[in-house]
Structure 1
């Protein structure tokens, strides 16, 4: 049985300096935006014979929650290699709160000292486990992006219908860049993507350089380190290491009727 985890988007309308901002509230989804395509991708891979799904997660990454919870619903095995908690808010906890949530649904969770160490350990694990599938950072693989493109195309049509027009600006956070790359493929060039790099990756990472080279993308680079949570949060639930870091830039550079895709809480 196919499981539907991509309900129609919820839009909250906010006003900043007499300008309207339309916020896509994927913080309302248990697994955030990644949840929308995860179920179909996992079902497709399970049909191909994969029985276990492995992921190396940044300490405050939300994809770990989307993967673990969806695997549990589909009765598939999930193994996580989680970067140890680097949060400046909860130094006394080995796992970040998001990893703790994911742990409730995952079959196994291994703690690693860094994201690089987690990725290396996850790769080594999959090389030894038959039937395992290693999901890359941010779900940046064809199996996922194909499904995500289909789903986001449908949801963007809903957004245009609800707003009565095609938005001209879409604000997005950039961790691995999966969401931004997918949107750039499916949206017309008339829609400008204002993407904010939150420093999960280094500036010379090929994934960041690829985004910077694409037309129709305006890429902002934050000076704030990824491990440092935002202080001035927006008036809606938003990940303090990812989406919430867009808030001050949006306040400063907003145009009337901009859209902000709030990926996770």
Structure 2
């Protein structure tokens, strides 16, 4: 087993509760819930004959950690495209590189830049250098399997909460929760990086039976902006803490009780 079937809901205040999905992945995997569905996706790829997967990492993501860990479990070769910065000590990259190497991934240095551009550079590299069946995984791991696994989690536990607040990066976790919404509920997705709100909304609500019950908000954070506030539970300062801060600032506007969906720590 690589993920827990259930994670706890903890009471934070009389009106705010937290779904501890940062506990979804069993150690030594990363403390975030996108591992849900990733195992199934890699298993399917292996059944289709894929022997090598690549992933283009960013300065702050834990996705490469998950890919390296699960790839090793499945005897797949993993290649992590490692962004190079003049000073990466302010990011969690040193720890993440340690994890990639711990699980046997090959690291390929890549100039830091726009991830969508680097993805195509990485694909060209793999075409030239990998001589076995391979696949370059999509940026941010927006996997249907992850959305469906999140839906299964949410459907079991959200019914008593009129408002659910979730951080939104790729939007994959929000997709699963949106699919699980009941008629009288509202989902608020808080973007961890400033961007196209309408595009993100369309991505999430295509999973949803009640699209008018979904809101995507953009507090305006740059992607690598770290929010250092004290939280009553482990919370990722590049993703989840941004949504937690938004919740605290807008609590009076939200119907209660509120469930905060904590993706990672």
Which bin holds the TM-score, normalised by the shorter protein? 0.7 to 0.9
Deviations 1:94-138 (A, max 9, x none): 934334323322421123212345323322134343411111112
Pairwise mapping of residues 33-44 of structure 1 onto structure 2 (< 5 A)?
A: 33-44=33-44
Instruction: Give the match for residue 63 of structure 2.
Output: 63
Q: Is the 8 A contact 1:12 1:24 kept in 2?
A: yes
Bigger shift: residues 226-235 or 40-49: 226-235
3-state DSSP of counterpart to 2:228: coil
Instruction: Give the match for residue 84 of structure 2.
Output: 84
Q: Counterparts of 1:210 and 1:153 in 2: how far apart (Å)?
A: 15
Q: Counterparts of 2:242 and 2:97 in 1: how far apart (Å)?
A: 20
Check if 1:246 corresponds to 2:238.
Answer: no
Question: What is the deviation of 1:83?
Answer: 2.6
3-state DSSP of counterpart to 2:36: helix
Q: Is the 8 A contact 1:64 1:99 kept in 2?
A: no
Check if 1:179 corresponds to 2:173.
Answer: yes
Q: What TM-score, normalized by structure 2, do the two folds share?
A: 0.82
Runs (4 or more) in structure 1 with deviation over 6 Å come to: none
Q: Is the 8 A contact 1:59 1:86 kept in 2?
A: no
Instruction: Give the match for residue 12 of structure 2.
Output: 14
Bigger shift: residues 21-30 or 61-70: 21-30
Q: Counterparts of 1:87 and 1:221 in 2: how far apart (Å)?
A: 28
In the alignment, which of 180, 184, 196 is matched to residue 203 of structure 1? 196
In the alignment, which of 124, 135, 138 is matched to residue 137 of structure 2? 135
3-state DSSP of counterpart to 2:212: coil
> Cα distance 1:180–1:156, how it changes in 2: closer, same or farther (>3 A)?
closer
Check if 1:26 corresponds to 2:24.
Answer: no
Q: Is the 8 A contact 1:138 1:177 kept in 2?
A: no
Q: What TM-score, normalized by structure 1, do the two folds share?
A: 0.82
3-state DSSP of counterpart to 2:135: strand
Q: Is the 8 A contact 1:27 1:263 kept in 2?
A: yes
Deviations 1:194-221 (A, max 9, x none): 111111x633794466458953221111
Question: What is the deviation of 1:241?
Answer: 0.6
Instruction: Give the match for residue 153 of structure 1.
Output: 151
Q: Is the 8 A contact 1:81 1:121 kept in 2?
A: no
Counting matched residue pairs gives 249
> Cα distance 1:258–1:59, how it changes in 2: closer, same or farther (>3 A)?
same
3-state DSSP of counterpart to 1:61: coil
> Cα distance 1:149–1:252, how it changes in 2: closer, same or farther (>3 A)?
same
Instruction: Give the match for residue 220 of structure 2.
Output: 223
Question: What is the deviation of 1:240?
Answer: 0.9
Q: Is the 8 A contact 1:52 1:132 kept in 2?
A: yes
Question: What is the deviation of 1:86?
Answer: 8.2
Unaligned runs of 5+ in 1: none
> Cα distance 1:25–1:45, how it changes in 2: closer, same or farther (>3 A)?
same
Q: Is the 8 A contact 2:147 2:172 kept in 1?
A: no
Q: Is the 8 A contact 1:82 1:118 kept in 2?
A: no
